[in-house]
Amino acid sequence: MTINGWLQILLYCGIVLALVKPLGGYMTRVFGGERTFLSPVLVPIERGLYRVAGTSESEEQHWTSYAFAMLTFNLLGVIVLYALQRLQAGLPYNPAGMAAVPPELSFNTAVSFVSNTNWQNYGGESTISYFTQMAGFTVQNFVSAATGIAIALAFTRAFSRASGKAIGNFWVDMTRATFYVLLPISIVLTLVYVYLGVPQTLGPYVNATTLEGAKQTIAVGPVASQLAIKMLGTNGGGFFNANSAHPFENPDAISNLIQMVSIFAIGAALTNVFGRMVGNQRQGWAILATMGVLFLIGVVVTYWAEAAGNPLMHAFSLQGGNMEGKEVRFGVALSSLFAVITTAASCGAVNAMHGSFTALGGLVPLINMQLGEIIVGGVGAGLYGILLFIIVAVFVAGLMVGRTPEYLGKKIEAKEMKMAVLAILCLPLAVLVFTAIATVLPSAVASVGTAGPHGFSEILYAYTSAAANNGSAFGGLTGNTPWYNVTLGIGMLAGRFLVIIPALAIAGSLIAKKAVPASAGTFPTDGPLFVGLLVGTILIVGGLTFFPALALGPVVEHLVGLAGQTF
């Protein structure tokens, strides 16, 4: 570890914190229907879309109607994206002549982008046409992120409103998230990336001849526009197979910093939106502090592990950090930081090979995902994910002091607890069941490229990434098989929608309750004590479930490395 490395990490944290209040204030005005500098241009478009959809900004929905609208829209997205892949050979903007994508892979990819996972069992530059990239993947990058923001807003209203039946309007929330937040920022980022050297063209791939005379085909395309929303919407799906390790997606340290800030910007700012909407910004800061504690622990452990290097190399008196699978232009510090950010935020974009990290360095991205998408998390998903843990935490606090649990004046009762626990258990259920089956199924084991505990970690990482809607992977696992395409797709659906539906049910239950004024016996939820309780709840409830599986994978791999052995 170096001073320069820590300065880069501190600079990143400072930029993210500086964006929280201004971006949070802007989004609060947007979702509150207040006038912004974009209103003169976007309000007519917004209202025109509402008329086409048969709704209006003044019309609100019960939680069941909100959930039905969300599920219907996302189901339609899966169908359209599946069709685009299957028909892409006959569609325009296909200069490389890409063939139709096979059925199982089309299913996996359609579910992946609609669920904001962006798991990729294919090489983008060798499988997907420009048209599918733009009309399919890039569009879903916007609307899947907007869906997450909409659910977070609906959950927030359950605490911010004194009482009622409606939690908002899905169509209005999604439209405003897309047009006022995601689209304008993405346009600016696209122009910045083009300036930094990221391609943005509909021209064919470039044929070149190297100085040695070798023929080479250089893939290009509309990369910058997809890159912008891929990061801002915590999608993570790369235009190229190498993702953000590819120089066309991530040319230098400046583009790398912009991408890392983009991943956290909206998720962190939504905590401020929450604080503003409930009338107490300290509540938002307490949530962000909880996320920050878990994030910094992950950064310290990963950077330390990667800077220390491989213990097997130390046995030969070879010192230095672990540069295997890392780009020289980023180094150990920025590669470690990027890995923690992308798995903490369920983005899944990578600028280094996570499978080439040390055992402990690779353990942190796994844990980040297994905690349940709550360390900033996906845009929107991080906020409603951590609110589920807050419900559990205040319930535990209520049991300890003998009071009816409450949060922001809303009583937490049996129904809310059942729904919260159901949502939290979806992740370990999807991950552990499929991992257990894959480790004994011959066809699934045949896809593993590494023997021993690291091979087990490859399987565990794949299902964790899918169910946590992350999308990153340990290299070495051949995922493009019928088994993995189908089961990973099921895991993505479970990790996304089997969490959203209970979250909306909780919102519907809480919004109908009258807010109880705070009293002398009310447990404060905006201070360090609550942050500590929430961190402990997340680690115990969310983390210990996976400890036996982690012990079989990265923990054993680390201990074997310390003993100077290899498989």
Cβ neighbours for 492, distance < 8 A, ≥ 6 positions apart: 111, 112, 115, 117, 119, 466, 467, 469
Closest by CA to 420, choosing from 397, 400, 393, 402, is 393
Exposed, middle or buried: residue 541 (CB in 10 Å: 0-12, 13-18, 19+)? buried
Amino acid (one-letter) located at 132? T
Q: Give per-residue pLDDT as tens, 325-362.
A: 899 999 999 999 999 999 999 898 999 999 899 999 99
How far is the CA of 298 from the CAs of 127, 303, 536, in angstroms? Answer: 35, 8, 15
Q: Give me the pLDDT at residue 290, please.
A: 96
Long-range CB pairs of 527-532 (<8 Å, 24+ gap) are 527/282, 527/286, 528/289, 530/286, 530/393, 531/286, 531/289, 531/290, 531/293
Please tell me whether residue 391 adopts helix, strand or coil conformation.
Answer: helix
CB neighbours of residue 419 within 10 Å: 21
Q: Give me the pLDDT at residue 164, please.
A: 82
Q: Where are the beta strands (DSSP E) in 213-281?
A: 215-218
CB neighbours of residue 316 within 10 Å: 7
Q: Give per-residue pLDDT as tens, 57-93.
A: 889 999 999 999 999 999 999 999 999 999 999 999 9
Q: Give per-residue pLDDT as tens, 5-61.
A: 999 999 999 999 999 999 999 999 999 999 999 999 999 999 999 998 889 888 999
Cβ neighbours for 389, distance < 8 A, ≥ 6 positions apart: 372, 374, 420, 424, 534, 537, 538, 541, 542
Instruction: Judge whether 368 and 375 are in contact, CB under 8 Å.
Output: yes
Cβ neighbours for 259, distance < 8 A, ≥ 6 positions apart: 227, 231, 244, 250, 338, 349, 351
The full set of domain ranges for the chain reads 28-278
Q: Give me the pLDDT at residue 88, please.
A: 95
Tell whether the model's pLDDT for residue 565 goes beyond 60. Answer: no
Q: In angstroms, rounded to a whole number, what is the distance separating the alpha carbons of residues 263 and 301?
A: 20
Give the mean model confidence (pLDDT) for residues 420-447: 94
Closest by CA to 175, choosing from 25, 53, 24, 40, is 53
Q: In angstroms, rounded to a whole number, what is the distance separating the alpha carbons of residues 68 and 454?
A: 41
* Angle in degrees, CA 538, 540, 546, rounded to 5: 100
Give the mean model confidence (pLDDT) for residues 548-561: 88
Q: Give me the pLDDT at residue 316, please.
A: 64
Q: Of 408-422, 423-437, 504-518, 549-563, where does mean pLDDT reach its minimum? A: 549-563
Tell whether the model's pLDDT for residue 562 goes beyond 70. Answer: no
Rounded to the nearest 10 degrees, the angle between the axes of helix 482-511 and helix 381-401 is 60
Q: Which alpha helices (H) appear in 402-519, and where do they start and end?
A: 414-438, 442-445, 452-467, 482-511
Q: What are phi and psi of 62, to 5 degrees?
A: -65, 160
Count of alpha carbons within 13 Å of 234, Cβ hemisphere only?
A: 32
CA dihedral for 236, 240, 246, 252, sign (positive or negative): negative
CA dihedral for 196, 198, 203, 206, sign (positive or negative): positive
Closest by CA to 500, choosing from 243, 108, 116, 166, is 116
Query: Which residue reads 């993405």 in tokens?
Result: 186
Binned at pLDDT 50, 70 and 90, residue 317 comes out as low
Q: Give per-residue pLDDT as tens, 494-518.
A: 999 999 999 999 999 999 988 888 7
Please tell me whether residue 515 adopts helix, strand or coil conformation.
Answer: coil
CB neighbours of residue 435 within 10 Å: 24
Which tokens sit at 253? 């340290």
Give the mean model confidence (pLDDT) for residues 145-152: 96
Q: In angstroms, rounded to a whole number, what is the distance separating the alpha carbons of residues 405 and 412?
A: 5
Q: Give me the pLDDT at residue 563, please.
A: 60
Q: What are phi and psi of 286, to 5 degrees?
A: -65, -40
- Higher confidence at residue 2 or residue 72? 72
Residues facing residue 62 across a β-bridge: 166
To the nearest whole number, what is the mean pLDDT of the chain? 92
Q: Give me the pLDDT at residue 286, please.
A: 96
310: DSSP letter? -
Tell whether the model's pLDDT for residue 564 goes beyond 60. Answer: no
Closest by CA to 465, choosing from 365, 555, 556, 551, is 365
Q: Give per-residue pLDDT as tens, 115-127.
A: 999 999 998 899 9
How far is the CA of 160 from the CAs of 148, 165, 206, in angstroms? Answer: 18, 13, 54
pTM of the predicted structure, to 2 decimals: 0.94
Q: HEC states along 185-227?
A: HHHHHHHHHHHHCCCECCCCCEEEECCCCCEEEECCCEHHHHH
Q: What are phi and psi of 161, to 5 degrees?
A: -100, 140
